[in-house]
Structure 1
Amino acid sequence: MENNNVFNFCNISDECIKCGKCIPECTIHRINPDEATSPRGFLDLLAGVQNGELELDKNAKDIFESCFLCTSCVQVCPNHLQTDFAIENVRRDIADKYGITWFKKVFFYLLRHRKIFDIVAKLGYMFQTCGFKIEEEKNAMGSRFSIPLIKRGRLLPSMKKTSFLNKYPEKIPAKKPKKRVAIFIGCLANYNYTEVGDSLIKILKALDIDVFIPKKQMCCAAPAYFTGDFDTTDKLSKYNMDYFESFIDEVDAIIVPEATCCAMLKVDYEHYFKEYAPEYLEKHKKINSKIFGASEWLYKETNLVDILKTKEKNKVKVTYHDPCHFRKMLGVWQEPRALIKENYKFTEMSDPNICCGFGGITIQTEKFHLAQKAGKIKADMIDETKADVVAAECSACRIQITEALNRNNSNVIFKHPLELIAQML
């Protein structure tokens, strides 16, 4: 996609009334209390770039890339200003001017080419022990899990032998189906945390629901979008909409067990299409009405709660972290709690809505010190609950929180809500 569109930052900046409600909620301002790295500071600087008063130099680049895109500011803003969308657009300008780091280019190439990604993932599974030390720990659920540990002490998820999309047939029919759903799995759950998809399949089978796994689905484009690679965003978003359209009338819903993917498909696609591809808006509107977060749909559209009520209570103590892209962007937060509470001891942390600090690829690589500071706040909060398990419906949060808990020498382990539910079935 050629960068022929000039995003008008002043349209958003001029509407900011400088009330400051966003500042206490801002993830980057919480760990770096500087007016420049606050939502209203970002907007003032963006207006300066627009008006030619401020050069988009490396200092400005550093500032705009420090935003975690948690959307906390959007949630509390009285004018509902889309500060996140403005920053995503300036990152496009930054990418055009300074280019994209080579390893990000490689990653985005893999996102655009699923078959090649499958091969790389398979090789990653085979050779990950060459670069990592595998550690096994017994968790509070009584099972075992392994995480590759980089020599520098950084925790990252291991590649699985077979991806979720290659593990199951395209159609998993139910005996007496009440509904039919498609699954959009997300890249991390596809290649790394395949137990999320396994759990979802188990739950849908228990509910006697027909399952359709669209094999040609591609990445939602969130990693590229948040980095400023709008060319990759354009290709993947349009491809997914065209592909979803081919089967949307045959399913009751497309369910997504990943907060970031779900928000990208529902909200970010709409913002992107409105600005850069208005011809896709009607198509997106039709498809969007059938896209749901997994726990949201299971709670509202099935009798899963009634089934869980028949199961025995589990003694494991669980706390829940709200992924930014679910609670802040989609308003999904009560449903996963309601499902977990049926069978587990539940305890709320002091502020489950505070961002865990994942922040995207740039934060996790070039600005990891920021992720560590934000993660420390969340890890301390989790440890204070004395919970055995922390759950969140987001694999990006899983990476960040697992890392933060490890640095805290914590015994709390992470589980996706679907894993907890599937265990009870």
Structure 2
Amino acid sequence: MSNYNFSAISDACVKCGKCKPNCTIYKISHDEVKSPRGFLDLLGAYNRGEIELDKNLKDVFESCFLCTNCVQDCPVSLPTDTMIENARADIAAKFGISWYKRLFFYLLRNRKIMDIAAKFGYVFQSCGFKIKDDNMSPRFSLPMLKKERLLPTASKKSFLNSHTEFIDNGGDKTIGIFIGCMGNYAYTAIGEGLLKILKELKINAHLMKSQGCCSAPAYFTGDFNTVDYLAKKNIEYFESLLNSGKIEAIIIPEATCSAMIKVDYEHYFHNDLQWKQRAINISKKIYLATEYLAKFTNLAQILKERNRDKKLSKITYHDPCHARKMQGVWKEPRELLKHAYILNDMSDNHSCCGFGGVTMQSEKYHLSRQAGQSRAAQIDAMDAKCVGSECSACKMQLNNALHIYGSDTKCSNPIELIANAL
């Protein structure tokens, strides 16, 4: 059983129910069992040995989207998401992890092999997918591959392999870029946009080519062996760059990656004080890309001057759960985008897009689809050309949801939108 004391957190819940209205899975199921206080009750009973971890309990714990709405709405911020993530490690230990997930996590641990796999994916993607523009839809159904589904195309060359490690923009400071796996292999325009912005700002870029996956997919699935390997590898690498003075900060244009490194590494190493402190130390130098650009550069002023006399397009914005709720970043992307676009906010900034992780996307896609359609309706009602979201998981989920909904609105990372405005 996980070394977290589930009972202590469960007992602290006073069952006030404030967590329920914004809970992504509860809004779909209307089942008290699949609500934050239901999860905590079951976790406490499991911890005390009153119930067995069987397939029914496995199904309940794997139905959580980990959107952290409950943590935000809880009067005492009980970490329901962290408890479920640790329960999933027990699930993985007892029931094992599906072959395709193990293969995926193996590739995430081995970037060179992943590079080769990505090249094969690019060459042969038209065999299994119908390609249209920068998206593709499967010709057949497998886990993660539903015929109706819209997925990003694989890029001919990864972002990290497309550039030298150090890019001199004539500046007096250098920042590291952690690009994330989807940004590296599929949504490469995000990284290219970030390089364009840094060139405009005369800030040197270090691509940190020895970076590994942030390990979020494995963490949300319960593969803690992969998390341990990748987290320690990244921490050691980041320390070497930061302590040597090669970079002064690390920016990440991906909310899930940033939250994993900045917040969840500390949670993961809760029982290892040395690694926990090392995780805390590097977290002080980790920033979401828009957070850093809004706080430490004059990009907002440049955008304002550059777009003063232009006819601006209308956009809206979707807050990634791992940005607004876990890192408190929501004002910063808006502060930048409002100078280049007509930015109209949706009335509901709590809603999760419904991505939910590898298990949700593969084994519980019907739940992910339902959550996505709800958010797509809210976005479509804004009559915006584009919806921004600083997360590639949100981008993939929302583009698929909007496609199924029949909307012409597309989702882009704010870094792409800002680069286009320059």
TM-score bracket for the superposition, by shorter chain length: over 0.9
User: In structure 2, what is the equivalent of residue 412 of structure 1?
Assistant: 409
2:107–2:114 contact (8 Å) kept in structure 1: yes
Structure 1 residue 326 displacement after superposition: 0.2
User: In structure 2, what is the equivalent of residue 387 of structure 1?
Assistant: 384
Structure 1 residue 178 displacement after superposition: 3.6
1:171–1:213 contact (8 Å) kept in structure 2: yes
Structure 1 residue 101 displacement after superposition: 0.4
User: In structure 1, what is the equivalent of residue 51 of structure 2?
Assistant: 54
User: In structure 2, what is the equivalent of residue 280 of structure 1?
Assistant: 275
SS of equivalent residue, structure 1 residue 25: coil
SS of equivalent residue, structure 1 residue 41: helix
C-alpha separation in 2, matches of 1:60 and 1:344: 47
The answer as to 2:177 corresponding to 1:183 is yes
User: In structure 2, what is the equivalent of residue 293 of structure 1?
Assistant: 288
For each residue in 1:69-110, what CA deviation from the matched residue of structure 2 results, as whole angstroms up to 9, or x when unmatched?
Answer: 000001111111110110001100000000000000000000
Q: Which amino acid aligns with 1:241?
A: I
Of 251, 256, 281, 2:252 maps to: 256
User: In structure 2, what is the equivalent of residue 311 of structure 1?
Assistant: 306
List aligned pairs for 1:5-404, cutoff 5 A: 6-136=3-133, 146-151=134-139, 152-175=147-170, 177-249=171-243, 250=245, 251-275=247-271, 277-312=272-307, 313-404=310-401
Note the residue ranges of structure 2 that are not aligned, 5 or more in a row: 140-146
Structure 1 residue 314 displacement after superposition: 4.1
For each residue in 1:137-195, what CA deviation from the matched residue of structure 2 results, as whole angstroms up to 9, or x when unmatched?
Answer: xxxxxxxxx201113121111110110110111100122x1421000010000000000
Q: Which amino acid aligns with 1:227?
A: T
Q: Which amino acid aligns with 1:303?
A: N
C-alpha separation in 2, matches of 1:6 and 1:281: 15
For each residue in 1:38-62, what CA deviation from the matched residue of structure 2 results, as whole angstroms up to 9, or x when unmatched?
Answer: 0000000011111111111000000
Please list every run of at least 4 consecutive aligned residues from structure 1 whose deviation after the TM superposition is greater than 4 angstroms: none
For each residue in 1:181-222, what CA deviation from the matched residue of structure 2 results, as whole angstroms up to 9, or x when unmatched?
Answer: 000010000000000000000000100001111111000000
User: In structure 2, what is the equivalent of residue 143 of structure 1?
Assistant: none
User: In structure 1, what is the equivalent of residue 142 of structure 2?
Assistant: none
* Count of equivalent residues: 411
C-alpha separation in 2, matches of 1:135 and 1:115: 28
C-alpha separation in 1, matches of 2:420 and 2:311: 10
Structure 1 residue 308 displacement after superposition: 0.8
User: In structure 2, what is the equivalent of residue 140 of structure 1?
Assistant: none
C-alpha separation in 2, matches of 1:278 and 1:179: 32
For each residue in 1:224-245, what CA deviation from the matched residue of structure 2 results, as whole angstroms up to 9, or x when unmatched?
Answer: 0000000000110011001111
More divergent stretch after superposition (330-339 vs 147-156): 147-156
Structure 1 residue 6 displacement after superposition: 2.6
SS of equivalent residue, structure 1 residue 18: coil
C-alpha separation in 2, matches of 1:118 and 1:159: 11
1:227–1:362 contact (8 Å) kept in structure 2: yes
C-alpha separation in 2, matches of 1:50 and 1:414: 41
SS of equivalent residue, structure 1 residue 372: helix
SS of equivalent residue, structure 1 residue 182: strand
User: In structure 2, what is the equivalent of residue 141 of structure 1?
Assistant: none
Query: What percentage of residue pairs aligned between the two structures are identical?
Result: 55
C-alpha separation in 1, matches of 2:89 and 2:278: 25
C-alpha separation in 1, matches of 2:185 and 2:121: 10
1:389–1:413 contact (8 Å) kept in structure 2: yes
User: In structure 2, what is the equivalent of residue 139 of structure 1?
Assistant: none
Structure 1 residue 285 displacement after superposition: 2.2
1:314–1:345 contact (8 Å) kept in structure 2: no
TM-score of the superposed pair, with normalisation by structure 1? 0.95
Q: CA RMSD in A?
A: 1.0
